[in-house]
């Protein structure tokens, strides 16, 4: 039997570790990933601020695959045919990657077709708004997280340049990731001895959609104290190398624009015959398996993380915490339970989760049920949780 894992995200990292712990019999395990590394999003703001090194936040997929007895195919999956049991993978040269959000390497890609008996997707999401003019060409991002390395290099080059005035950066999207990235970049510019003018631009009514009014107020205080300007009800429409154009007709000077609009489905899903929800995410049931599209029944394709929508739970947030909680269920159902007669495991999402936002000032903003705290203690907790998670899978 051939099992193909597409994407080396949070859930597949666990699946590889599970396969290493319980070696598979008669199974050809394949991992498709653009590179041999996966970067852990929880530590990306700390990496941008300078607290962590790249090694601190990177999983070595090559080593994990080797331990699991899996073959690593380096490339992007571009389409999946569940009906034929085939995945097309484009091998792209990483050296060809450009600066913009959508840049993914050289265009002269070789296509490899891989057949499968079972497949599993953990390919994350892409930022909303990639199609707007200039976004792919000029904006930086942290999705996929490997782009964080490029973003930090671009920022450092700006800070190192002779500057008349402050370094001007715009971050588009004030979700949890946008707030953390704005604070981290601001901190890094100041630490480099430059003046910083960081602006957080949000089309919606508030920063931190999905969080309570109390958390938002606290976040606004933190942003204000750090000197980050917040513009809500402000829609960005175009990115130029030195400016961000707004729907109002105004333009903000911006030497570096970071694009972190919410989560949109990865392009791979559009080129596939998998069941999708109305937004275009991969629709799975509680077994994390594709729902049936027709009388042919459920395709042998599973999924986890940002790329899925769970049937009956359209409210489920897209956060790494959910991908991590899904991973044991995914591992059991995709790799097969040790007892072949056992029923498949079922996933039930938690209604709320512990949120810890790195505010890049030696503190973190914590939200746990009704509790809100911006404290050194919360930062200590976040650092500990993240490092412990990394230690489980770092080789």
Q: Which residues bind ligand FAD (CB under 6 A)?
A: 6-11, 32-34, 38, 41-42, 44-45, 76-77, 122-124, 142-144, 177, 180-181, 260, 266, 268, 305-307, 318-321, 323
DSSP string across 234-271: --EEEEETTEEEETTS-EEE-SEEEE---EE--HHHHT
- The span from the CA of 191 to the CA of 164, in Å, is 17
Are 362 and 383 within 8 A, CB to CB?
Answer: no
**197 vs 367, beta carbon nearer ligand FAD:** 367
Least distance (Å) from ligand FAD to the CB of residue 18?
A: 15
- The span from the CA of 240 to the CA of 115, in Å, is 42
Least distance (Å) from ligand FAD to the CB of residue 322?
A: 7
- Could you tell me which residues are beta bridge partners of residue 30? 4, 71
**32 vs 167, beta carbon nearer ligand FAD:** 32
Are 102 and 76 within 8 A, CB to CB?
Answer: no
Least distance (Å) from ligand FAD to the CB of residue 274?
A: 13
Least distance (Å) from ligand FAD to the CB of residue 356?
A: 6
Q: Which helix (H) or strand (E) holds 329?
A: helix 320-335
**32 vs 264, beta carbon nearer ligand FAD:** 32
Strand pairing class (236-240; 243-246)? antiparallel
**243 vs 288, beta carbon nearer ligand FAD:** 288
Least distance (Å) from ligand FAD to the CB of residue 26?
A: 25
- Could you tell me which residues are beta bridge partners of residue 140? 258
Q: Which residue's Cβ has the minimum distance to ligand FAD?
A: 305
Least distance (Å) from ligand FAD to the CB of residue 184?
A: 8
Count Cα atoms within 13 angstroms, Cβ side, for 138: 20
């Amino acid at each position: 039997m051939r099992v193909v894992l597409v994407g080396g995200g949070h859930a597949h990292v666990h699946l590889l570790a599970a396969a290493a712990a319980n070696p598979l019999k008669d199974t050809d395990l394949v991992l498709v990933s653009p590179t041999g590394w996966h970067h852990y999003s929880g530590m990306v703001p700390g990496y941008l601020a300078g607290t962590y090194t790249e090694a601190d936040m990177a999983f070595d997929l090559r080593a994990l695959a080797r331990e699991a007895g899996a073959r690593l195919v380096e490339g992007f999956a571009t389409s999946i045919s569940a009906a034929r049991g085939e995945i097309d993978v484009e091998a792209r040269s990483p050296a060809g990657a450009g600066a913009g959000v959508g840049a993914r390497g050289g265009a002269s890609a070789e296509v490899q077709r891989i057949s499968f008996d079972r497949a599993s997707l953990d390919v994350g999401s892409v930022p909303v708004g990639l199609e707007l003019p200039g976004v792919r060409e000029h904006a930086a991002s942290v999705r996929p997280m490997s782009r964080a390395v490029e973003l930090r290099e671009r920022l450092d080059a700006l800070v190192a340049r002779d500057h008349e005035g402050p370094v001007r950066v715009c971050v588009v999207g004030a979700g949890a990731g946008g707030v953390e990235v704005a604070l981290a970049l601001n901190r890094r510019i100041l630490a480099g001895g430059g003046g910083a003018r960081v602006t957080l631009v949000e089309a919606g009514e508030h920063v931190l959609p999905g969080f309570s009014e109390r958390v938002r107020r606290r976040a606004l205080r933190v942003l204000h104290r750090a000197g980050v300007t917040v513009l809500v009800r402000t829609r960005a429409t175009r990115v130029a190398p030195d400016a961000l154009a707004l729907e109002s007709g105004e333009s903000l000077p911006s030497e570096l624009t970071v694009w972190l609009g919410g989560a949109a489905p990865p392009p791979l899903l559009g080129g596939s015959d998998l069941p999708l929800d109305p937004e275009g995410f991969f629709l799975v049931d509680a077994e994390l398996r594709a729902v049936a599209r027709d009388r042919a029944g459920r395709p042998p394709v599973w999924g986890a993380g940002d790329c899925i929508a769970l049937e009956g739970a359209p409210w489920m947030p897209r956060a790494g915490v959910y991908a991590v909680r899904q991973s044991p269920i995914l591992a059991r159902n995709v790799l097969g339970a040790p007892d072949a007669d056992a029923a498949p495991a079922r996933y039930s999402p938690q209604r709320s989760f512990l949120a810890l936002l790195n505010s890049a000032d030696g503190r973190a903003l914590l939200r746990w049920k009704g509790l809100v705290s911006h404290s050194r203690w919360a930062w200590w907790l976040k650092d500990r949780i993240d490092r412990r998670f990394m230690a489980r899978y770092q080789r």
